[in-house]
Copies of this chain bind each other. A is one copy, B any other.
Amino acid sequence: MNEMPKRAQSKIVDSPAAAVEGIADGATVLIGGFGVLQGWPSSAIAALRARGTRGLTVIANTPGFGPLSPQVLFENGQVRKLVASFGGFPYRMTPAEEMIGRGEVELELVPQGTLVERVRCGGAGIPAFYTPTGVGTEVARGKEAREIGGKPYLLEHAIRADWALVRAAAADAAGNLVFHGSSRNFNPVWAMGARATIAEVDEIVALGDLDPERVVTPGIFVDRVFRSTVRMNRAELIDMIRKLGRQSPEAGAMPGIPPDLMALRAAALFAEGDIVNLGIGLPTQCSNYVHGRAVTLHAENGVLGYGPFPEPGREDIDLYSAGGQLVTALPGASYFHSADAFAMARGGRVDKIVLGGFQVAANGDLANWKAPHQRAGTIGGAMDLAAGGGEIVVLMFHTTKSGASKLVAECTYPLTARACVAHVVTNLALIDVVAGKGFVLREVAPGVSIEEVRQSTAASLHVPEDVREMDFGA
């Protein structure tokens, strides 16, 4: 049995070990953090590892990677089940994913926006809700489907966990939490959704020293606070983050234009005033081509109005995009938590979404979360973003390295969303998906012939008379 903390005059405890006291075998534990290297409640995780508690259900956006992340609980055999929106990562294998592959850890893969909303509802006393996210995909399997107002939705159930381990910038004795930069992500919502919340912070301040207007998580949601004992070499960490950002696949000997020009072409699709969300991988490169334009970048970890990568020496490790890159904040930027970020997305406030893809079908179906070689899958926020009805631009190589077309008559990989794609930008062409017509060629990359595009496309390709050479003008 979990021994929950009693109400105390001060919620401050003096060590990570004291903070995780009472967590019992079989407990359900929400762990805050987005999935990047930094920002985990790392000393609480280390204390939970030292405690040796077993049979845990870990609920987190990702199992993370590296010694600061929940991975250490997996490596130590303490985890029975993972509930996450990323079971693994695109270009690296982790202990958690290996254990999932071997059947040693059960995986429940949940779209990111659904995950955070399920926990918010758990905290808010709402047992279940309907959502458009995941309709027509594997996520819908076994779930009640229902039409409301003529549109299809799925019933999702709330999650209320035993414990939450969250990470914040500062706290007071009442348990009030403030955050820094775009690192709020799941933390404020996880604090709501647990029977007891443990907050690891960089700084503990005197009661009255936090501006009540700046408090993000009111103390009512927090049971214990303690000062983080993990000290990191900032320069080393920044270097590691940079290297991780580069672990995307090589363009190699692909024909047509290189990735930076593909991103430039995709970014030229943005209109003045657009709110744009950029998916992981290639799409993040579009952020290089919006400076000075009236385009606002939205990232689901909780920032609106982020800007270019910081100059060396001016990095802020708490200010990153959903792709994990360190970014800057432009004038007019704002920060928020993941539930609000997905309210914006699902609520239809994001105008354009650039996503990577494994396959796009002629009817606009998109498959981008699980290829056959993957053990776990990486749903992330794509399903929720697609559900919001914004225009989806897929940015991907036209074919796999072995030459198989990624533009297909019908997707053979698991779907992200049905009939959602508007444009596909590849190394060979810009292709629109038009209802009733399918793939319609608009532009060919310089040096690429219409015939090459047709041969690389495993579905019928409409070629209007006005096909142009690719236009990179913004």
A contact residues vs B (CB 8 Å cutoff): 6-9, 117, 120-132, 148-149, 151, 153, 157, 172-174, 176, 178-180, 192, 207-208, 210-215, 218-221, 272-275, 294, 296, 298, 304-305, 329, 331-336, 339-340, 342-349, 387-388
Contact = CB atoms under 8 A, between A and B. Distances in A.
B124 A347 contact: yes
A66 to B, nearest CB: 27
Contact of A125 (B131, B157, B173, B178): B131
Contacts of A148: 127-128, 157
Contacts of A207: 331-332
A123 B336 CA distance: 15
Contact of A348 (B125, B132, B331): B125
Contacts of A122: 347
A335 B215 contact: yes
Most buried by B among A131, A213, A219, A342: A213
Contacts of A120: 343
A276 to B, nearest CB: 11
Given A212-B335, A304-B219, A332-B207, A128 B125 contact: no
Contact of A117 (B124, B132, B179): B124
A123 B347 contact: yes
What are the 4 A-B residue pairs with the smallest beta carbon separation, nearest first? A7-B273, A208-B331, A125-B346, A124-B343
A349 B221 contact: yes
A7 B271 CA distance: 10
A354 B143 CA distance: 40
Contacts of A180: 213
29 contacts: A6-B273, A9-B294, A121-B129, A123-B347, A124-B343, A125-B132, A125-B346, A125-B347, A125-B387, A127-B148, A127-B153, A128-B129, A129-B130, A174-B296, A174-B332, A192-B343, A192-B347, A212-B305, A212-B329, A212-B334, A213-B214, A214-B214, A215-B334, A218-B336, A219-B332, A220-B275, A220-B298, A221-B344, A221-B349
A213 B178 contact: yes
